Amino acid sequence: MTIRSGDALPSGPFELEHRSLQAGLREWVGDQTGHPVGYLEQLYTFADRDRDHMEAQAETDSRTISISYLGLVREQAAPGAGKPGWHGWYEYFPWEDQRRGRPGGLVAVTDALRLWAGAEPSRREHRNRRVDFAFGLDGAAWNEDLALQRYELMYEARLVTEAGAFPGFATGRPMFADHRRILATAIARLRAKIKYRPVVFELMPEKFTLLQLQRTVEALAGLTLHKPNFRRLIDQQELIEETGEMTSETGGRPAKLFRYRSAVLEERALAGSKLPLARN
């Protein structure tokens, strides 16, 4: 959920009347988007002065400290002020969507990173190893959890608009101040978290098919998952149960509808639960 026609995340200052940081955040999100936030957890605290160009240009002694949060809600229309709207996160990070293989634009990114790595001979080897590790090159495997590391590497190489890159370079849509960095942090956190906690169910409707569940996990991970393995592991973890209902909205044969087992919620919250990310 974004504001300013997709250019920024909902945000606001922590004020004296706010009972807590989380309460303040919920109030700002509600005021700016008209959308209540459900699941919420603190992400990271950002205080780098050189990452906020507005502050750097002002040359003042003040500094903005941003305390970021990850919130999960089910997509629905939001009537709030400030032009709130939903935007897919691959609009901002197109290289992160590997569901149909490596995106064509990723080659231009990694080629530019190779040039950056070679610009300083004394650091070439170390920089190239970082590029290989982050982007799964030269025998390294692609790791979906490294979304933040990839963005930070591109920022360091000045390949993104926020770092001063030419706006025409195909590295995703920029955001206000450091908001895309915050979004990258959230992507990395959520991708890692769906492997050991059943938070994906915060995004699912009350009833869903197994295919809908798999497609949701694939959309979050940016990967295509192995269907038989996915369903077998879901069954083994006893996360869901049949509702006894069928749906014909899948376009093929009627599919069974499932729901999350509420009796497992507390147990999984305490012990953790891993959603499978077995690749093709």
Residues of the chain with CATH 1.10.10.10: 200-271
Residue 279 has pLDDT above 70, yes or no: no
Lowest mean pLDDT among 136-150, 199-213, 216-230: 199-213
Query: Would you say 161 and 171 are in contact if contact means Cβ atoms under 8 Å apart?
Result: yes
If you ran DSSP here, which 8-state letter would residue 170 be given? S
- Give the integer Cα–Cα distance in Å for 273 and 205: 19
The yes-or-no verdict on residue 226 having pLDDT over 60 is yes
Among the ranges 32-41, 58-67, 166-175, which has the highest mean pLDDT value? 32-41
Q: Mean pLDDT, the chain, as a whole number?
A: 85
Q: Does 112 score more than 60 pLDDT?
A: yes
Q: Which of 196, 278, 273 is nearest to 229 (CA)?
A: 278
Angle, vertex CA 181, rays to CA 94 and CA 89, nearest 5: 35
Q: How many CB atoms lie within 10 A of CB 164?
A: 10
Task: For residues 129-158, give the mean pLDDT.
Answer: 95
Q: What is the dihedral of CA 46, 96, 128, 115, to 10 degrees?
A: -100
What does the pLDDT average to over 41-48?
90
Q: Using 50, 70 and 90 to split pLDDT, how confident is the model at 68? A: very high
CA gap 38, 216 in Å, rounded: 18
What's the rounded Cα separation, in Å, for the pair 270 and 144? 25
108: left (phi over 0), alpha (psi -120 to 50) or beta: alpha
* Alpha helices (H) along 51-93: 53-58
Least confident of 85-94, 96-105, 137-146, 251-260: 251-260
pLDDT at 163: 87
State phi, psi for 46 to the nearest 5 degrees: -105, 125
Query: pLDDT confidence of 215, banded at 50, 70, 90?
Result: very high
Greater model confidence, 75 or 2: 2
Per-residue confidence (pLDDT) for residue 79, from 0 to 100: 62
Q: Please report the pLDDT score of residue 250 as a whole number.
A: 64
Helix (H, G, I), strand (E, B) or coil at 220: helix
Reduce the DSSP state of residue 279 to 3 states and report it: strand
- Of 3.30.870.10, 1.10.238.10, 3.50.50.60, 1.10.10.10, which CATH number belongs to 200-271? 1.10.10.10
- DSSP type of residue 31: H
pLDDT at 254 over 70: yes
pLDDT at 82 over 70: no
pLDDT at 65 over 90: no
- pLDDT at residue 43, as a whole number: 93
